[in-house]
């Protein structure tokens, strides 16, 4: 995982996700939900009180998340309570936090819906974010050797890209900052919005494999990429350093990822050909990259659609905490995929995640990247010949 500004990573032991999910599935019985659902007021009480529609995840996934954060939420003494004086259980706290993150509603509205004051909603949500940072990081990591073989196989089988290890893309998380504050100018992006950049590497299952966030919207993709630990590892030869693929004529194809024209062309990052009147081979290459690139676009669009706290302008954003909220939203998205939650199949299928943003072309091209792209383009072109 790349740098997330404001967050310090701590080492944790490995967790068997399948076993933990299976154990958690037997916890958090129906009694809790019966009691909690009776407390729902406001606009939520006018809708069918279906668990999945309120929290955007299944009960199985909810119980698993509770099992992850239970020790951390219970370790700190708290007096969080509903308006009637009843103290919040772990399940209550997780429910409040998930509703805040998934709905993007104000602290006041969430508090009204669940019968508590907005300061309680704020504190509960932040404690949940901190606990997820500590306990769920194993859901966002670089693939193991076997996982990478599976990723390569899928990318080649579906889009014909041999030895490809993922797709990189970036999106803007918009914020409301005062234009009077001169220090806020650094957050103004090329569309004149205050925003923060989220850059991610995605696998074919739309799982986040590496993220970089916390940098201001005024920075372009090249600058954000260069600042990332992932880029530095690639430059040192300690990432994307796996087995090469043998192509015809004795050519060897190293591991690489793909991105759109916002990114530089590098030995380990292949981007589309730019310009008009391209050859058939180059046009075909661009089509394949564009089709595969939809995976990352859909992942980012789905992230914003599922966790609306990062879609559009945040309520009173804290640019020091926002990167950590973004990280936790990515962790939650990966958990849904890792547990094969049924809501996964109901996720929005749109690929529009920065609808008001025009593409910013990057003209940087490394010579080794040019050579590698040309070799791959010729190889793909030859495969299309009768």
Summarised one tens digit per residue, pLDDT across range 146-180 is 999 999 999 999 999 999 999 999 999 988 876 65
pLDDT at residue 138 above 60?
yes
The confidence score (pLDDT) of residue 238 equals 96
Long-range CB pairs of 336-340 (<8 Å, 24+ gap) are: 336/57, 336/61, 336/306, 337/205, 337/206, 337/207, 338/17, 338/139, 338/207, 339/17, 339/21, 339/60, 339/61, 339/64
Q: Is the pLDDT of residue 20 over 70?
A: no
Q: Read off the pLDDT of each residue in 336-351 and give the average, rounded to a whole number.
A: 81
Model pLDDT, residue 370: 96
Average pLDDT, the chain: 87
pLDDT confidence bin for 190, thresholds 50/70/90: confident
pLDDT of residue 19: 47
Q: Does residue 79 register a pLDDT over 60?
A: yes
Q: What is the pLDDT of residue 352?
A: 72
Q: What is the mean pLDDT of residues 91-95?
A: 96
Which of the two residues, 81 and 48, has the higher pLDDT score? 81
Residue 253 has pLDDT above 70, yes or no: yes
Q: Express as a percent the part of the chain with pLDDT over 70.
A: 84
Please count the other Cβ atoms lying within 10 Å of the Cβ belonging to residue 72. 17
Provide the b/e sequence for 119-145 (b: ≥16 CB within 10 Å). ebbbebbbbbbbbbbebbbbbbebbee
In the prediction, which pLDDT does 316 show?
58
| Phi (first) and psi of residue 18, to 5 degrees | -65, -45
CB 154 within 8 A of CB 111: no
pLDDT at 234 over 90: yes
Question: Which pLDDT score is estimated for 264?
Answer: 97
Which of 316-342 are b and which e, b meaning 16 or more Cβ less than 10 Å from the residue's Cβ? ebebeebbbbbbbbbbbbbbbbbbebe
For range 211-231, the mean pLDDT: 94
**Do 18 and 67 touch, CB atoms closer than 8 A?**
no
| Mean pLDDT score, 316-340 | 91
Q: What pLDDT, on a 0 to 100 scale, did the predictor assign at position 27?
A: 46
Give residue 211's pLDDT.
Answer: 98
Q: What is the pLDDT of residue 273?
A: 96
pLDDT band at 56 (very low <50, low <70, confident <90, very high): confident
Give the model's pLDDT for residue 51: 86
Predicted confidence at residue 355, as pLDDT, reads 72
């Amino acid at each position: 995982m790349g740098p997330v500004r404001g967050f310090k990573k701590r080492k944790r032991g490995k967790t068997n996700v399948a076993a933990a999910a299976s154990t958690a599935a037997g916890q958090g019985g129906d009694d809790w939900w019966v009691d909690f659902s009776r407390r729902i007021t406001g606009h939520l009480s006018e809708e069918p009180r279906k668990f999945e529609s309120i929290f955007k995840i299944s009960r199985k996934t909810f119980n698993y998340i509770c099992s992850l954060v239970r020790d951390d939420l219970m370790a700190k003494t708290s007096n969080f309570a509903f308006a009637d004086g009843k103290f919040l259980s772990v399940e209550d706290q997780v429910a409040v936090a998930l509703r805040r993150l998934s709905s993007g509603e104000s602290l006041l509205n969430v508090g009204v819906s669940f019968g508590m004051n907005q300061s309680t909603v704020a504190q509960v949500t932040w404690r949940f974010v901190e606990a997820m940072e500590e306990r769920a990081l194993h859901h966002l990591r670089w693939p193991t050797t076997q996982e990478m073989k599976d990723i390569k196989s899928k990318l080649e089988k579906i889009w014909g890209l041999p030895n490809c290890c993922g797709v990189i893309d970036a999106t803007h998380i918009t914020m409301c900052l005062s234009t009077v504050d001169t220090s806020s100018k650094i957050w103004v992006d090329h569309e004149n919005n205050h925003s923060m950049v989220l850059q991610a590497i995605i696998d074919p299952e739309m799982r986040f494999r590496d993220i970089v966030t916390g940098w201001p919207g005024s920075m372009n993709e090249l600058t954000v990429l260069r600042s990332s630990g992932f880029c530095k590892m690639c430059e040192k030869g300690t990432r994307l350093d796996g087995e090469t693929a043998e192509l015809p004529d004795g050519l060897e194809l190293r591991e690489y990822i793909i991105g759109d024209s916002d990114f530089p062309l590098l030995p380990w990052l292949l981007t589309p050909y730019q310009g008009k009147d391209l050859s058939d081979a180059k046009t075909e290459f661009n089509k394949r990259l564009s089709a595969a690139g939809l995976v990352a676009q859909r992942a980012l669009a789905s992230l914003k659609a599922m966790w609306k706290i990062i879609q559009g302008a945040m309520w009173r954003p804290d640019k020091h905490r926002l990167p950590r909220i973004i990280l936790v939203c990515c962790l939650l998205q990966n958990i849904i995929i890792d547990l094969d939650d049924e809501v996964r199949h109901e996720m929005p299928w749109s690929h529009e995640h920065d609808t008001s943003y025009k593409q910013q072309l990057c003209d940087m091209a490394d010579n080794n990247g040019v050579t590698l792209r040309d070799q791959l383009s010729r190889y793909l072109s030859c495969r299309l010949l009768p």
